[in-house]
Amino acid sequence: DAGVTQSPTHLIKTRGQQVTLRCSPKSGHDTVSWYQQALGQGPQFIFQYYEEEERQRGNFPDRFSGHQFPNYSSELNVNALLLGDSALYLCASSEMGRRSNYGYTFGSGTRLTVV
Amino acid sequence: GQQLNQSPQSMFIQEGEDVSMNCTSSSIFNTWLWYKQDPGEGPVLLIALYKAGELTSNGRLTAQFGITRKDSFLNISASIPSDVGIYFCAGHLILLQGAQKLVFGQGTRLTINP
């Protein structure tokens, strides 16, 4: 049973560019959350998608947007990249309504470097 | 917004020693979680706590949910080399329309000298 799959694993972009990160949730999961983890910090919640809609958003600017597809996979888009956007981006999948201890499975992340 | 303060930030211990780390919050959480993150990987759940005062064990790991719902600790007994990594506490929130999110601490980096 595959867990959460994220692609690409590493990415280097230039300031001002746009980037798209992808996530395939664990089988049986219908909800995808995205987190940003800066170096030496804990993950920070970006937003959560369920039924192809953004359900909740953290304290991130509109440059961060997302999408969820009918097969539950998700994309994270970041426009007008800044140096400060350099981080590990984690995708976590879960099943809406399940208790949290069974709910969250994290992917290995995408390491984004903005130069 | 919610913040979790985790301490210590780093620990350097000898193999076989016990480890203790804790997490405090300015907000109340209904569920506390402890995760471990290895280099190049995402966080992996170690223990989940649901009730104030709850004490839960998972092998050599023991965690407790504070009575006030604003703190938690994690103990690791008889540390072994594979315990090396970064440990995170996280508070779980259920939001509007059933959405959920985790609020993470800053992490405790554990290093073990053989």
- pLDDT per position as a tens digit, A58-89: 999 999 999 999 999 999 999 999 999 999 99
Q: Is the pLDDT confidence value at B16 over 60?
A: yes
Q: Is the pLDDT of residue A22 over 70?
A: yes
A60 interfaces chain B, CB cutoff of 8 Å: no
- Surface-to-core class of residue A49, CB atoms within 10 Å of its CB (0-12 exposed, 13-18 middle, 19+ buried): buried
Banded model confidence at residue A95, pLDDT cuts 50, 70, 90: confident
Q: How many CB pairs below 8 Å do chains A and B form together? A: 75
B101, A56 contact by CB (below 8 A): yes
The answer to whether residue B1 neighbours chain A at the CB level (below 8 Å) is yes
For residue A97, the model assigns a pLDDT of 67
What is the distance in angstroms between the Cα of A109 and the nearest Cα belonging to chain B?
A: 6
The DSSP H or E segment spanning B91 is: strand B85-94
Least confident of A79-88, B30-39, B82-91, B93-102: B93-102
B96/A104 CB distance under 8 A = no
Grade residue B1 by pLDDT with cuts at 50, 70 and 90.
Answer: low
Rounded to the nearest 5 degrees, what angle is found at the Cα of B67, between the Cα atoms of B66 and B72?
Answer: 5
Confidence (pLDDT) at B54: 93
Segment B26-54 shows an average pLDDT of 92
Candidates B100, B103, B106, partner chain A, best to mutate (most A CBs within 10 A): B100
B76 interfacial to chain A (CB closer than 8 Å): no
Q: Residue B98 pLDDT > 70, yes or no?
A: yes
